[in-house]
Amino acid sequence: MRVLSGIQPSGALHLGNYYGAMKQHIELQHGHECFFFIANYHTLTTVQDAARLRQLTSDVALDYLAMGLDPAKAALFRQSDIPEVTELAWILATVTGKGLLDRAVSYKDKVERGIAASMGLYFYPVLMAADILIYRSNLVPVGKDQVQHIEMTQDMAGYFNNTFGREVLVRPEPKLNEAAVVPGLDGQKMSKSYGNSIEIFLDARTAEKKIKSIKTDSTPVDAPKDPGACNAFALLRLMATPEETAEWERRYRAGGMGYGEVKKRLVELYEAFFGQRRERRAQLAARPDEVEDILRDGARRARLVAEQVMHDVREACGIVTVR
């Protein structure tokens, strides 16, 4: 079973990114063959500043390594280090009807949000299908917003296989990230664009300030409280053990406990977990050559598969090259 996912390098990660996506990526490395890549070609649809894209690309590598991605287990690499991906994207485009892309919801959403309606943005799902199909990936862990893209990938695999009469490409399945929606400081979905995020690599003091600013209601200390309606509790249950979560739940319902106490505990839990990883990230950041070696080794492993699949693809459709 091969697991693959792409991560757009889009800046400082927050608790929503970690509990919504990254945590499950890192867990999947135990027991599966995992390929995780940094989707820098996709990010070129929104970030068109060379220095910034380079920075974002190395940041996300540091983030994954600091949070426990083990390069001996999972291959971590840059999308752009596998040239077969863009080659396959073109070939897929030739068997895919334009109508399929016209139905892409994410394209429409992005254009509505003011992102330039470039050909690249329109073509985005084809490149994503190539990312997945080039490694004959079986399982693709993603958030809900990406499921349509995986379904389009399934369609494109079918179009190719049917057109050329060979089962060359493997149909992938999406795997939904388990954490539903992680709320932000104001109780809305945590999102960079809402300005309500708690990033995962904050220094201890900034983290404490942010956590203390989590919005809670004005139920008096003595009164019983509903844990299900509390943003601080929603974050606590992600970070605490099930036993500790159950104990806090009891205390909420019993009354006599103020939200300040929960926030104080959140600060401790944040620091105990992310503080250590922040240190590890700083150490890695001071050794860029080591990180580069990890990315190159990941690319080497991924490319072994990509070259084989691309060979089969060219063979099936009659494209002759000297490679």
Q: What minimum distance in Å lies between the beta carbon of 315 and ligand AMP?
A: 35
Under the binding rule (CB under 6 A), the answer on residue 20 touching ligand TRP is no
Q: Which residue is nearest to ligand AMP (CB)?
A: 20
Under the binding rule (CB under 6 A), the answer on residue 181 touching ligand AMP is yes
- Other Cβ atoms within 10 Å of 245 Cβ, number: 16
Q: Give the number of residues in contact with ligand TRP, rule: CB under 6 A.
A: 12
* DSSP string computed for 66-105: HTT--TTTSEEEEGGG-THHHHHHHHHHHHS-HHHHHT-H
Site string for ligand AMP, 15-34 (x = CB under 6 A): -xx--xx-------------
Q: For residue 280, what are the contacts with CB-CB under 8 A and spacing of at least 6?
A: 65, 66
Please report, as residue ranges, which positions from 186 to 215 form the binding site for ligand AMP (by CB under 6 A). 189-191
Q: Which of 22, 25, 26, 42 binds ligand TRP (CB under 6 A)?
A: 42
Under the binding rule (CB under 6 A), the answer on residue 211 touching ligand TRP is no
Mapped onto helix, strand or coil, the DSSP state of residue 168 is: coil
Q: For residue 66, what are the contacts with CB-CB under 8 A and spacing of at least 6?
A: 201, 277, 278, 280, 281, 284
Mapped onto helix, strand or coil, the DSSP state of residue 321 is: coil
Q: Taking the mean position of all CA atoms in its chain, how far away is CA 256?
A: 40
From 189, 212, 215, 264, the catalytic residue = 189
Nearest 5°: the CA angle 15, 285, 264 is 35
- The runs of H, that is alpha helices, within 230-319 are 231-239, 242-254, 259-270, 276-285, 288-317
296 close to 78: Cβ distance less than 8 angstroms: no
Q: Which of 2, 10, 118, 123 binds ligand AMP (CB under 6 A)?
A: 10
Under the binding rule (CB under 6 A), the answer on residue 196 touching ligand TRP is no
Q: What minimum distance in Å lies between the beta carbon of 289 and ligand AMP?
A: 28
Under the binding rule (CB under 6 A), the answer on residue 313 touching ligand TRP is no
Instruction: Give, as one character, the DSSP assignment of residue 263.
Output: H
Under the binding rule (CB under 6 A), the answer on residue 40 touching ligand TRP is no
Only segment of 64-72, 138-146, 253-261, 315-323 that touches ligand TRP (CB under 6 A)? 138-146
From the list ligand TRP, ligand AMP, none, pick the one residue 191 interacts with, judged by a Cβ distance below 5 to 8 Å according to partner type. ligand AMP
- Active-site annotation holds for 110: yes
For 74, phi then psi, to 5°, come to: -100, 140
Residues in the chain: 323
d(CA 124, CA 116) in angstroms, rounded, equals 13
Q: What minimum distance in Å lies between the beta carbon of 179 and ligand AMP?
A: 5
CB closer to ligand TRP out of 26 and 140: 140
From the list ligand AMP, ligand TRP, none, pick the one residue 140 interacts with, judged by a Cβ distance below 5 to 8 Å according to partner type. ligand TRP
Q: In the numeric block, which tokens belong to residue 148?
A: 């349509």
Q: Give the number of residues in contact with ligand AMP, rule: CB under 6 A.
A: 14
Site string for ligand AMP, 140-169 (x = CB under 6 A): --xx--------------------------
d(CA 158, CA 152) in angstroms, rounded, equals 10
Under the binding rule (CB under 6 A), the answer on residue 132 touching ligand TRP is yes
Q: Which stretches of the chain bind ligand AMP, using CB under 6 A?
A: 10, 16-17, 20-21, 142-143, 177, 179, 181-182, 189-191
Where does this chain bind ligand TRP (CB under 6 A)?
A: 4-6, 8, 39, 42, 128, 131-132, 140, 142, 146
